[in-house]
């Protein structure tokens, strides 16, 4: 090989080496849409997460998998461990939560606190209170968490930290409270506290919701669907 050719080969080799070194330090960029880029910059929000799955995954899970409350309460009374295994879900080491459905007569309304409740006598009514239902306008964090945990597919390990996980429960509660107000026939959530007991006591409600098994003798349901049947 003539000297001129040797020089050309050497120069080419050097250039290729430099190019390879430069490329090895490059990082491929992720291409996002404008909306995706905006969301990425804003970071995680429970509201956005719940908005994406509420109608498509959460409510269908409740509609399809909620167990009759009377059946579940009997199962818990007979063998709590077996009932938990068959129907319960939890994330971490907290209480087990359950998806339930039922129909009940409203025995009493109590709005002395912001976490108002109605007590329920399951159909066919026998004059005994079987469970309570929270109607707000405040739904406690632990009660909101029952709605999140009962579905089984929302697990703590899928989130960056505890705050994100808690924000999901908070966002679910924020969707539920207006639904309850509408079902009760009041103008806004704060008006729940102004309800006359005669507006609801003695009427029948149909519900789908969740509860956590903190105390088997004091079940408090958080509804995700609620219908008041006129007497």
Domain boundaries, the chain: 45-229
Dist. CA 64–CA 210, nearest whole Å: 13
pLDDT at 12 exceeding the cut of 60: no
DSSP 31: P
Residues 70-105: tens digit of each pLDDT: 999 999 999 999 999 999 999 888 899 999 999 999
What is residue 9's predicted lDDT score, i.e. its pLDDT?
42
Query: How far is residue 209 from each of residues 5, 58, 109, 206, measured CA to CA in Å?
Result: 81, 11, 18, 10
From the candidate CATH numbers 3.30.70.100, 2.40.50.420, 3.30.1480.10, 2.30.29.30, the one assigned to the domain spanning 45-229: 2.40.50.420
Does this model's pTM top 0.85? My answer is: no
Q: Which of 5, 225, 27, 207 is nearest to 106 (CA)?
A: 207
Other beta carbons within 10 angstroms of residue 44's beta carbon come to: 16
What is residue 92's predicted lDDT score, i.e. its pLDDT?
81
Confidence of residue 24 (pLDDT cuts 50, 70, 90): low
């Amino acid at each position: 090989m003539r000297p001129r050719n040797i020089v050309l080969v050497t120069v080419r080799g050097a250039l290729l080496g430099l190019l390879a070194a430069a490329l090895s330090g490059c990082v491929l960029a992720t291409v996002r849409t404008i909306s995706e880029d905006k969301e990425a910059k804003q970071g995680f929000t429970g509201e956005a997460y719940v908005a994406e799955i509420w109608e498509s995954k959460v409510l269908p899970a409740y509609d399809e998998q909620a167990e009759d409350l009377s059946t579940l309460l009997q199962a818990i009374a007979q063998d709590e461990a077996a009932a938990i295994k068959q129907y319960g879900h939890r994330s971490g080491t907290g209480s087990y939560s359950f998806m339930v459905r039922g129909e009940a007569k409203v025995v009493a309304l109590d709005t002395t606190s912001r976490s108002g409740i109605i007590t329920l006598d399951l159909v066919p009514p026998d004059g005994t209170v079987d469970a309570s239902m929270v109607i707000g306008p405040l739904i406690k964090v632990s009660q909101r968490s029952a709605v999140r945990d009962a579905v089984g597919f929302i697990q703590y390990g899928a989130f960056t930290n505890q705050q994100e996980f808690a924000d999901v429960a908070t966002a679910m509660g924020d969707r539920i409270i207006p639904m309850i107000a509408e079902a009760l026939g009041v103008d806004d959530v704060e008006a729940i506290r102004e309800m006359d007991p005669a507006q609801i006591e003695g009427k029948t409600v149909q519900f789908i919701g969740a509860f956590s098994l903190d105390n088997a003798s004091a079940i408090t349901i958080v509804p995700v669907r609620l219908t008041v049947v006129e007497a």
